[in-house]
Each structure stands twice: as C-alpha cells, then as structure tokens.
Structure 1
Amino acid sequence: MASIRQEVVIHAAPQHIWDVIRDVGAVHERLLPGRVTATRVEGTARFLTFPDGHVIQELLITIDEDSRRLAYSVVAGARPALDYHHASFEVHAEGEHGRLIWTTDVLPDTAAPEIRIRTQVGIAEMKMNIEAASGR
C-alpha cells in the first residue's frame, strides 16, 4: 500500500487552521475554493463537487478535537479508481504558527504518483487559502 505524506507550515494560529480543516461542510468556501465548487454533508457522508461537475463521496471517519485530527475515506467517484483510500489531516502547533500534515494511504500502488501530485498541489492551495483568511 502506498502512503503519501505532505507537511506544510502555515502562518496562522493552529486553532484557526483546525477551524478551517474541521469545517467539513465548507470545503468549497474555506479550504479549497475554486478547486471544490460545492460541499454537501449527509450524516457521515460528504460529497465534494468539482468544477467539471464530477462528484466524489467521502466517509467522514473521525473529527478529533483534542488531537486536531480529521480522518476520511473516499468511497465513490475517485479518479483514478482506487481499491482503497484513507486519509487524515493533523494540525500541530509550531511556535505561533501551525503545521498541517496530510497523510493518504491508497491502493493500488500505481495510483500513488498521481495522488502525490494532487496532494502536493492541494496542500499548497490550502496553505494559501488559510493564510489569506487568517489576516496575517
């Protein structure tokens, strides 16, 4: 199984970063505006709509306030098709800033290069959006 880990220091308070990450129904407004055009949450299911109209369905597994960790799994609509997907975000304090860690486990291993590129681009966009909203 391929495991992909991305980390970035975000120049914002860790609690602000966590507030954006844990706002599972506002991905299109706060975390990845433009990349995600709509977010819908139904119980533990989250549906993300992309600019081309494509929708993925995720299972929200954990929102742990104490450890500032959110875990989810893509269960439908993945491109490329995946046999298994599990990912988590963690927010850690790093001085007055925060470190965002995004870990993604996928099968098949052949999907890893594309997922790695997507997470590299995604975490950079998250950093930009979170910092812009933090007012720093």
Structure 2
Amino acid sequence: MATVQKEITIDADPADVWAIIGDFANGPVQMAPGLVTDSRLAEADVRVVAFADGTVARERLIALDEETRRLVYSVIGDTMQPTHDNASMQVVSHGDGRSRFVWIHDVQPDDLVIPMGAAMDHGLSIFKQTVESSSEHLR
C-alpha cells in the first residue's frame, strides 16, 4: 500500500479552516471551488463528490473529531475505484492565527499515488488561495 502525505500552512485561523474541512457534505466544494463542482450527501455517512474533469468519487465518512479537528474518510467507488483507500485531513494551530493542514491518503493500487498526489497538490493550492482570500476580507 502506498501513502501520499501533503502539508501546507494557511494564513487563516484553524477554526475557519476547520469550518470548511469539517463540513463533510459541502466541504469539498468550499475547499476547491472550480476543481470540485458538486458535493452532496447520498446517505448520512456517504458523500458524492464531482470534479471538473468528470471524475466522481463516493466517499464514506469514517470519523469526524471536532476536538482534534480531524476528518477521516474512504473512497468507496463511482468513477474513482481504488481497491483500498483511507484518507485523513487534520487542521492544527501553527501560531499567530495560522493553520497547518495535513492530508494523508493510504491507497491501493500503488500506481494511484502519482495522480492522487498531483490532484492533492492542485486542490491544496486552490484551498490555500480560497481560504486566505476569505480571511483577508474578515480582517
């Protein structure tokens, strides 16, 4: 099994970053508008996320921990069909009103690592820009 881990620092309060990440139903669209075109609940613990390139992922909520600001989910199907996937996103304080965002995917088959890593990098750059732009308006 392969692991992809990405981290970024965001110039925004951890509570503001978590408000997006912790919203299982709508968070993906808020996180990467334009890259993610739709996100909705199909069941209480399953969301369907549509991407601009036509990819669709069904994702099952595994854990949502408000105290540690950590979300765990698994891609379980649709057009994206890994044989195994487990992902976590966590927001931690990075001092002075900044956040460190950690996103980890454990995935099989291993050849998904390169495209998944590229998609994560792209999504994170949009996320950082989106959140920091919103935070500027709040200051």
Q: What is the TM-score when the length of structure 2 is the normalising length?
A: 0.89
Task: Tell me the matched-pair count.
Answer: 135
Q: Which residue of 1 aligns with 2:74?
A: 73
Change over 3 Å in CA distance of 1:121–1:29 after alignment to 2? closer
Cα distance in structure 2, aligned partners of 1:61 and 1:28? 16
CA contact (8 A) 1:27 1:33 kept: no
Gaps of 5+ in 1: none
Trace 1:11-22 onto structure 2 (pairs within 5 A). 11-22=11-22
Report the secondary structure of 2:36's partner residue. Answer: coil
Structure scoring higher RCO (CA < 8 A, sep ≥ 6) equals: 1
Report the secondary structure of 1:16's partner residue. Answer: helix
Cα distance in structure 1, aligned partners of 2:29 and 2:118? 23
Gaps of 5+ in 2: none
Q: Which residue of 2 aligns with 1:27?
A: 27
Q: Which residue of 1 aligns with 2:111?
A: 110
Change over 3 Å in CA distance of 1:118–1:68 after alignment to 2? same
Let me know the Cα RMSD of the aligned residues.
1.6
Q: Which residue of 1 aligns with 2:2?
A: 2
Cα distance in structure 1, aligned partners of 2:93 and 2:64? 18
CA contact (8 A) 1:63 1:71 kept: yes
Q: Which amino acid aligns with 2:67?
A: D
User: 1:91: Cα distance to partner?
Assistant: 0.4
Cα distance in structure 2, aligned partners of 1:97 and 1:123? 15
User: 1:51: Cα distance to partner?
Assistant: 2.7
Q: Which residue of 1 aligns with 2:48?
A: 47
Q: Which residue of 2 aligns with 1:125?
A: 126
How high is the sequence identity, in percent, across the aligned residues? 34
CA contact (8 A) 1:28 1:35 kept: no
